[in-house]
């Protein structure tokens, strides 16, 4: 490997770590939600399982899965060209145990990114809340069709549908503010600062225009409830579905095929 490639991979690894820090500043107990997801994998799927990291960003889930489970493999899927490239470089140390694929969940053909492979688990974090109800419901059906029998789906996300419960809303708001203040005071970047560093880097800057084109006309976050997610999973013929972890308005939802 030449020094230029090594340098970009090292830079990417550092900025994956910075990504994790800035994400944690918006998500209190982010590592706790990952720990729960990995614990479920340990109990529910084979040691050599194939895991799909759905809407993967730069691959935070894949990195954790591969480090904890040395025989597992990951397929990381996303539509953001900048984050995909960051993930490919940052996780290069894992070799062919992880592959990154470009796919748009709004397009039902996204499943072609798996090349016919059927996973034991599909995991997602802080991503699916961007999908409107009809697209999300169809994605859950897609995942149900893809998973091997007994396979699991886990979605970790902020789910803020708390109308009529002002105390719950206020506690969640205060927790978000306190987490951001604490972590950013200790050096975590804001999203805007982190993104500008990626976008200004010579390796990633050429991808910015394409990224902006792809997401230019997407609608705002629809704020679907936990109950909606669970109902959509059950409608997709998962035999079990429900929340397995919660901190205020932050949840991990689990379903089994």
Instruction: Give pLDDT tens digits for 218-244.
Output: 988 888 999 999 999 999 999 999 999
119 is written with which tokens?
């996973």
Of 6-10, 14-18, 97-101, 203-207, minimum mean pLDDT range: 6-10
**CA atoms of 22 and 181, how far apart (whole Å):** 11
Alpha helices by DSSP H, listed for the chain, are: 3-24, 30-44, 60-68, 81-90, 133-146, 166-185, 191-200, 208-215, 226-235
16-69 residue pLDDT tens: 999 999 999 999 999 999 999 999 999 999 999 999 999 999 999 999 999 999
Pairing of strands 250-256, 240-247: antiparallel
Q: Domains (ranges, CATH) in the chain? A: 3-256 (3.40.50.150)
**pTM (2 d.p.):** 0.95
2 is written with which tokens?
């030449």
pLDDT of the residue at 29: 96
Q: Report the SS3 class of residue 133.
A: helix
- In this predicted structure, the answer to whether residue 4 has a pLDDT above a threshold of 60 is no
Q: What are phi and psi of 169, to 5 degrees?
A: -65, -45
- In this predicted structure, the answer to whether residue 10 has a pLDDT above a threshold of 80 is yes
Q: What are phi and psi of 61, to 5 degrees?
A: -65, -50
Residues 24/31, Cβ–Cβ less than 8 Å: yes
Find the helix packing angle between 60-68 and 30-44, rounded to 10°: 50
State mean pLDDT over 81-108. Answer: 98
Whole-number average pLDDT of the chain: 95
Of 4-13, 26-35, 174-183, minimum mean pLDDT range: 4-13
pLDDT of the residue at 2: 62
User: What one-character-per-residue DSSP string does 217-232 give?
Assistant: TPPPP----HHHHHHH
pLDDT of the residue at 45: 98
Q: What does R_g of the chain's alpha carbons equal in angstroms? A: 18
pLDDT of the residue at 165: 85
**CA atoms of 96 and 57, how far apart (whole Å):** 18
- In this predicted structure, the answer to whether residue 117 has a pLDDT above a threshold of 60 is yes
Element (H, E) at 25: none
**What percentage of residues in the chain have a pLDDT greater than 70?**
97
Q: Which residue has the higher pLDDT, 214 or 6?
A: 214
Residues 229/125, Cβ–Cβ less than 8 Å: no
130 is written with which tokens?
């961007």
86-98 residue pLDDT tens: 999 999 999 999 9
Q: What is residue 206's DSSP assignment?
A: G
pLDDT of the residue at 3: 58
């Amino acid at each position: 490997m030449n020094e230029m490639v090594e340098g970009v991979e090292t830079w990417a690894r550092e900025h994956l770590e910075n990504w994790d820090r800035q994400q944690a500043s918006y998500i209190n107990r982010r590592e706790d939600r990952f720990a729960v997801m990995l614990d479920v994998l340990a109990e529910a799927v084979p040691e050599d399982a194939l895991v799909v990291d759905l809407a993967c960003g730069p691959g935070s889930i894949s990195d954790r899965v591969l480090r904890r489970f040395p025989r597992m493999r990951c397929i990381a899927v996303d539509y953001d060209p900048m984050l995909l490239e960051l993930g490919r470089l940052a996780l290069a140390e894992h070799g062919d145990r992880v592959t990154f694929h470009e796919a748009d969940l709004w397009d039902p053909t996204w499943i072609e990114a798996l090349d016919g492979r059927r996973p034991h688990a599909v995991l997602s974090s802080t991503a699916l809340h961007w999908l409107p109800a009809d697209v999300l419901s169809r994605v859950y059906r897609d995942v149900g069709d893809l998973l091997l029998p007994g396979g699991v789906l886990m979605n970790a996300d902020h789910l803020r549908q708390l109308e009529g419960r002002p105390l719950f809303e206020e506690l969640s708001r205060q927790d978000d503010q306190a987490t951001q203040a604490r972590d950013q005071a200790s050096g975590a970047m804001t999203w805007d600062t982190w993104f500008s560093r990626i976008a200004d880097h010579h390796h990633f800057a050429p991808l910015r225009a394409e990224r902006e084109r792809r997401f230019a006309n997407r609608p705002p976050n629809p704020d679907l409830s936990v109950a909606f997610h669970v109902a959509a999973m059950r409608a997709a013929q998962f035999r079990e579905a429900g929340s397995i972890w919660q901190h205020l308005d932050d949840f991990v939802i689990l379903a089994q095929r």
